[in-house]
Amino acid sequence: MSPKSAASPYAAVFIDFENVYYFLKNHFHDPPDLNDIVLDIVRSLREQLSTQGLDSLISYAYADFERMATAPQGALYLMGVSTRNVLGTDHKNAADMQLCIDALEVMYTRPEIGTFVLVAGDRDYIPVLQHLRRQARQVLVAGFRESVSGDLLQNIGAQQFIDARDLLAPERVAQLEQRRADRQRTQEESRRLREHGTVGVPSAAALAARTGDVSKMPSGPAAATSTPRSGTPAAVKRPTEEAPDFLPSHPLATDVERRTLAFMLKEIQKLEAKQQRRVTELWLGPFMRLLTDELPELPDYERRDQLNRLRDAGAIRIEKREGEPHAFSVIMVNYNHPNVQELHPGEEN
C-alpha cells in the first residue's frame, strides 16, 4: 500500500454495473434474480472494504439502466450508491468512458481518498489504473475471474484482485454453478443423441448457442461458402425444409433485433455478390466487429445479446467448428423464419 493510501481511510468505488449484469446473464444462463445478485455483490464489497478500515466515501454505478429488464436504481440509492445512466457511443461503451473520467476527477479533486476500487474487468481500464497508481493511490479491482482481462490482472497483481464469487453467499454461488452445469449437461446429452443418429434432436452446437455466451465463442475468417448456385448473386435462396437444428420460430420482439437480422442478411448478400456464389454462413468474430459500426449505440455485450435473441427466436443458429490454428464459430440463418422471409419477400422457396 502506498504512503498516501495507507494514511487515508477513504475509498471511492466505481461499478461498471452493466458489465457484471450481462456477464451473469450470459455465463449463468439468465438467472431469474439477476439484479439481486449484482446488488448482493455491491453490498458485500462495501462491507468487506469496511472491515479493512476503508470508508466508501464515494460510490458510483454505471449502466444504461433503461435497457435493463428491472430498474436497480432505487436499491442502489438506499445502499448509498449514486447511479450514472449512460448511453452507448461509437465503438465504445459510454459506461467505461464515464467511469474513467469520474475516477480521474475524484483523484484530482479529492486528495483525501487513497483507495480506488473498480468493479470492472476490461483491459481498457489499464491506463487509468496505472495513472492512479503513479499518483500513489491504492487500486483494487473486483469482478468475476472469467470476465476480467488477463492483462488487467497481471497489471494490478493478484493481491489487488477481489473475486466476485467470494462476495456472494456460498449457497448462491452453488445455485448459479448448478444452473450452468445443468444446461451444459443437457447440451452434452443432446450431442450424444445426435451422434447416435436420433432424428429431430437439436445439435449440441445449437443448444450451446441457445444457452451459451456468444462473447466466449471463438471466431475465424470473414465468411464461408458452399456450392455455387444460379440466379442473381445478391439474392438468397431458402432451403425447402427448415433445418432441425434451429430452435422453434417466433417473431422478433424489438426493432433492434430486426435491425441486427437485416444487417446480417445484407452482409450475406454483399458476400454473394462479390464471390458469385451462394453464401450460407457468416463467421462470428468478423461479423461482431461489423455490428459495432451498425449498432454503435449499444454496449458490446448488448450487441452480443442480440445474437442470443435471434438464436432464441429461431432465426439463426451458431455452430462451433474445428479449425487451424484455432476453432471458430459461424452464424447460420434460418431462411424459413418469418422475419427473414419478410425482409426478403421476393425470394423463391
CATH code: domain of residue 75: 3.40.50.1010
Residues 6+ positions from 92 with CB-CB distance below 8 Å: none
Q: 162 and 213: one domain?
A: no
Bridge partners, residue 283, by sequence: 330
pLDDT at 107: 97
Q: Is 0.75 topped by the overall pTM?
A: no
Give a yes or no: residue 193 inside a domain.
no
Q: Residue 236 has which C-alpha cell?
A: 438468397
Q: Does 177 map to a domain?
A: no
Q: Does residue 232 share a domain with residue 119?
A: no
**Is 227 in the same domain as 164?**
no
Rounded distance between C-alpha atoms, residue 45 and residue 41, angstroms: 6
Q: Which domain holds residue 335?
A: 202-343
* Distances from the Cα of 120 to the Cα of 91, 190, 252, angstroms: 18, 35, 31
Please state, in angstroms and rounded to a whole number, the distance separating the CA atoms of residues 144 and 24: 9
In a domain, 190, yes or no: no
Q: Is residue 184 part of a domain?
A: no
> Does some domain include residue 331?
yes
120 and 77 share one domain: yes
* Cell 432451403 sits on residue: 239
| Residue that is last in its domain, among 142, 168, 194 | 168
Q: Are residues 157 and 225 located together in one domain of the fold?
A: no
Is the residue at 180 inside a domain? no
Residues 75 and 156 in one domain: yes
212 and 160 fall within a common domain:
no
Report pLDDT for 222: 40
Among residues 164, 152, 136, 183, which one has the least CA distance to residue 43?
A: 164
Query: Residues 232, 130: one domain?
Result: no
Extract the residue ranges of the chain whose pLDDT is less than 50: 1-3, 89-91, 198-213, 215-243, 346-349
Residues 207 and 334 in one domain: yes
253 in the same domain as 139: no
Same domain, 163 and 206: no
How many domains does the chain divide into?
A: 2
State whether 46 and 109 are in the same domain.
yes
In a domain, 185, yes or no: no
Query: Measuring CA to CA, which residue among 110, 100, 16 is closest to residue 55?
Result: 110
